[in-house]
Structure 1
Amino acid sequence: MYDSATRRHALAHLAAGRSLNSVSRATGISRAALRSWRDHGIEPVSRGASPLRTDGAAYPYLLGLYLGDGHISGNARGVYALRIACGTAWPGLIDACETAIRAVRPGGAVFRVPQQGCVQVTSTSKQWPVVFPQHGPGRKHERAIALEEWQQEAVAAHPWDFVRGLVHSDGCRVTNWTERTVSGFRKRYEYPRYFFTNTSADIRRLFTDALDLVGVSWTESRRRGPARNVSVARREAVALMDLHVGPKY
């Protein structure tokens, strides 16, 4: 067993960009142990508890929800609460969020805390800042947001789940319409499109990088204030989004 200081020291080397092989040779710690700390947290797991899992589709989805509508707060005992705000208009989203949290934190308790217009889906763990290293002081759009190498690998393995999580947090599917005169008659045409709106340029870039990865074309435009919209409007791109993401429900 390694103490917490040793684990933090090893994880700091990984966070600085060194490979598993390099850190293993320098410290004498096995690659398996290093990978486990990187993926599931550095705190020793107590008997009967389960480590957090980042190796499935649930984690990229939960990561998308966290980057959009989530935050982490800690207490003096080093226990952190992950809270994802889900609008009460979409009960299916609340269920999907809870399911994802339970998959990432198997065996842990999940609470639904009602607030005006939303439900805070909440779970506590000492490991949340490790699996969500984007946690930090201040608002997300006021600091740099980038994925660690292992998070990039998780997103690359399940890109649609990441896209779906971002859309389910700060995105929407809408139906626009227009009228045209055809053979002397006015006809109404409706067409669906997806929007993702976020103030953070870094988070928007993570979204558009994932769209590029799955072959979905997009455009970006400014709204009022600092936020920008990422729009998916081409018919074939919307069809892909409908197949893999769909509207909130």
Structure 2
Amino acid sequence: MYSRKIVDETFRLKAQGLTDKEIAARCGVSLRALRHWRYGTRRGPEVEARRADRTTYCPRCSTGSLHKEAYSYLLGAYLGDGHITENKNRPGVHTLWILYDKKYPQLIAYCRAAIEAVFPIKVFMADRPGCTAIKAASKHWPCVFPQHGPGKKHDRPILLEPWQRRIVDEHPQALVRGLIHSDGCRVINRIRKASSGAEAEYHEYPRYHFTNASTDIIDILTHALDRLDIAWKIHVNKRMPRYKDAHIVSISRRDAVARMDDFVGPKY
């Protein structure tokens, strides 16, 4: 019988992205024990009671409450670069995946905290080429993300339900922050200005970009920007093959960039 301290340590190490073999070696436990703690059927009365309490956390199909600001952020992250899959080995259980560039550990920690604030569940990290997958399993992800469906998001309608619209209208900054953190950027624009009789001068200024192939997601972002009175422009990309025909929202006016810096800022 392993102590509660050891069991909790294995979950902590898993959240840091270690493999089961690495965790087993570090904690001195068997792989079989690890997998039973996470997925197995040998559960004592204490675990069953905890699971019973967790069945009521969903705010849509049960009596749970929703942290609205965290949800607005997480909705933006999901719409920007997230998806939901169904677990083939556990019918009815879905996994939310949010992909963040591994260069930005603070953003990864921020997203993980948002997930934990929305649902009281374990959050795990998985390394992927060039990015970190932040993931958490629950039966209730489709309840709070009704936009989930087969295929790519830009191939199907992405429309907010009235209850979602009320939340993002109340917390538009959190939504914009989630969208920019997941699939946007803050860049330095450099413009060459020639002057007669002198060498060309270069002027630099910051701007924000958000690129997405779904016009519905673009509309969700621009609606939130309008509520914040942040000026934006939009154009269709024709240059980069990866984002061909995608829509790019650009925020470049000095006052608009200053507003964005107040609650979004550079990625880190």
Residue 158 of structure 1: how far off its partner (Å): 0.6
Change in 2 beyond 3 A, CA 1:98/1:120: same
> Alpha-carbon deviations, 1:53-84, whole Å to 9, x = none?
53321100000000011111113521111111
Residue 72 of structure 2 is aligned with which of 47, 60, 71?
60
Give 5+ residue unaligned stretches, structure 2.
Answer: 1-49, 59-64, 239-243
2:123 partner amino acid: V
SS at match of 2:68: coil
Residue 248 of structure 1: how far off its partner (Å): 1.3
Residue 210 of structure 1 is aligned with which of 224, 233, 242?
224
Residue 127 of structure 1: how far off its partner (Å): 0.5
SS at match of 1:48: helix
Residue 46 of structure 1: how far off its partner (Å): 4.8
Cα distance in structure 2, aligned partners of 1:159 and 1:182? 46
Cα distance in structure 1, aligned partners of 2:197 and 2:264? 37
Larger radius of gyration: 2
Equivalent residue, structure 1, for 2:85: 73
Q: 2:57 matched to 1:51?
A: yes
Equivalent residue, structure 1, for 2:41: none
Residue 136 of structure 1 is aligned with which of 144, 149, 163?
149
Equivalent residue, structure 2, for 1:90: 104
Equivalent residue, structure 2, for 1:239: 258
1:159 partner amino acid: P
With normalisation by structure 2, the TM-score equals 0.72
Cα distance in structure 2, aligned partners of 1:84 and 1:64? 10
Alignment of 1:157-176 (within 5 A): 157-176=170-189
1:222 partner amino acid: V
Cα distance in structure 1, aligned partners of 2:200 and 2:246? 35
With normalisation by structure 1, the TM-score equals 0.78
Give 5+ residue unaligned stretches, structure 1.
Answer: 1-44
Contact 1:170–1:196, Cα closer than 8 Å, also in 2: yes
Contact 1:61–1:162, Cα closer than 8 Å, also in 2: yes
2:204 partner amino acid: E
Aligned residues: 204
SS at match of 2:267: coil
Equivalent residue, structure 2, for 1:190: 204
> Alpha-carbon deviations, 1:172-207, whole Å to 9, x = none?
000011233388454321110000000000000100
Q: Report the aligned-residue RMSD.
A: 1.7
Equivalent residue, structure 1, for 2:136: 123
Residue 157 of structure 1: how far off its partner (Å): 1.1
Equivalent residue, structure 2, for 1:178: 191
SS at match of 1:47: helix
Change in 2 beyond 3 A, CA 1:109/1:182: farther
Cα distance in structure 1, aligned partners of 2:209 and 2:185? 5
2:100 partner amino acid: C
Contact 2:67–2:117, Cα closer than 8 Å, also in 1: no
Contact 1:55–1:154, Cα closer than 8 Å, also in 2: no
SS at match of 2:117: helix
Cα distance in structure 1, aligned partners of 2:222 and 2:66? 22
State the identity as a percent.
48
SS at match of 2:207: strand
Contact 1:110–1:122, Cα closer than 8 Å, also in 2: yes
Contact 2:173–2:263, Cα closer than 8 Å, also in 1: yes
Equivalent residue, structure 2, for 1:220: 234
Residue 222 of structure 1: how far off its partner (Å): 1.1
Cα distance in structure 1, aligned partners of 2:116 and 2:226? 29
Contact 1:54–1:154, Cα closer than 8 Å, also in 2: no
